[in-house]
Structure 1
Amino acid sequence: MSVIEAPRTPTRGRRTGGINWEKWGWIYMRASGVVLIVLIFGHLFVNLVAGEGVKAIDFAFVGGKLSDPFWMIWDGLMLWLALIHGGNGMRTLVNDYATNPKVRKVLLIGIAASTAILILLGTLVITTFDPCPAGADPALLASICEGR
């Protein structure tokens, strides 16, 4: 006769002390989700509803938005929270479904690396974007560059 273990019986040893990263990841997902809802709907409202709507979105609109420190912080916060939120969600899926430890490790490293690279590149674009580069052909520059 075989014994069936009780549901949810831990298969690994119990942790004693230290930081409970799973708990803090769970809390982060809930908190960042709420903040992301505000950031995303604010972003969509400003880009698609306010002003002339979607037909106003062009290079000059984006350039003007990214030259304002308020929108740089807004978009940067949205970028960081969304990428970390998504990376944490993918980490959870890998931990739940990848049974081979080596495959799990490779997948987790790939998720961490791609999240870090995308955060770095996105932050670089947001903080260094210049819609009016020096020496550019004036005919190719956006309308916001006139008089600069």
Structure 2
Amino acid sequence: MSTVAAPRSPIAAPRRKGPNLEKWGWIYMRASGVLLVVLIFGHLFINLMTGEGIHQIDFAFVAGKFATPFWQWWDVIMLWLALIHGANGMRTVVNDYVTHNGARRVLVWALWLAAAFLILLGTLVVFTFDPCIGVTQDSSLWEMCQSVAG
């Protein structure tokens, strides 16, 4: 009877001090994925299944949702979680397939800068949205904006 030789132990890289960012990234992906499922299906249900369904979605519907702090925060949380989740997933792909250290570093920085820019822009849009900016007398929103303003 033959025995199998003991496997060679891999050379372990020395453990760096500080937080294990890969572990926390892995945990974030799982937690944000679960939260995103709830947020996205809630978003789709409210927008597509209640009221008149897809026929109700227009500028006034969005303006009405963004006038409520609950929906503002719902959409901002969904935006932040989705963009960070997506950027972290893309970072993992870049780390797996880009072998040149310099190129990998540039791509990862570009991913996080793009995600940060979109988070900033999206958050500003949600919290500073004003449907009455630029409304003229020809617009169907004119009466509504006049009653709110005066």
Question: TM-score, normalized by length of structure 2?
Answer: 0.86
Q: Residue 141 of structure 1: CA displacement?
A: 4.6
State the identity as a percent. Answer: 57
Q: Residue 136 of structure 1: CA displacement?
A: 2.8
Taking the aligned partners of 2:47 and 2:14, their CA distance within structure 1 comes to: 50
Aligned match of 1:139: 138
Question: Gapped runs of 5+ residues in structure 2?
Answer: 1-6
Name the larger-Rg structure.
Answer: 2
Structure of greater relative contact order (alpha carbons < 8 Å, 6+ residues apart): 1
Aligned match of 2:54: 54
Pair 1:6–1:104, CA change in 2 (3 A): farther
Taking the aligned partners of 1:68 and 1:86, their CA distance within structure 2 comes to: 27
Taking the aligned partners of 2:72 and 2:137, their CA distance within structure 1 comes to: 25
Runs of 4+ more than 2 Å apart: 141-147
Taking the aligned partners of 1:44 and 1:105, their CA distance within structure 2 comes to: 37
Question: Gapped runs of 5+ residues in structure 1?
Answer: none
Amino acid at match of 1:79: L
Taking the aligned partners of 1:145 and 1:115, their CA distance within structure 2 comes to: 34
Q: Residue 59 of structure 1: CA displacement?
A: 0.3
Aligned match of 1:128: 128
Amino acid at match of 1:102: G
Q: Residue 138 of structure 1: CA displacement?
A: 3.5
Contact 1:132-1:141 at 8 Å conserved across structures: no
Pair 1:18–1:106, CA change in 2 (3 A): same
Pair 1:26–1:61, CA change in 2 (3 A): same
Q: Residue 132 of structure 1: CA displacement?
A: 1.8
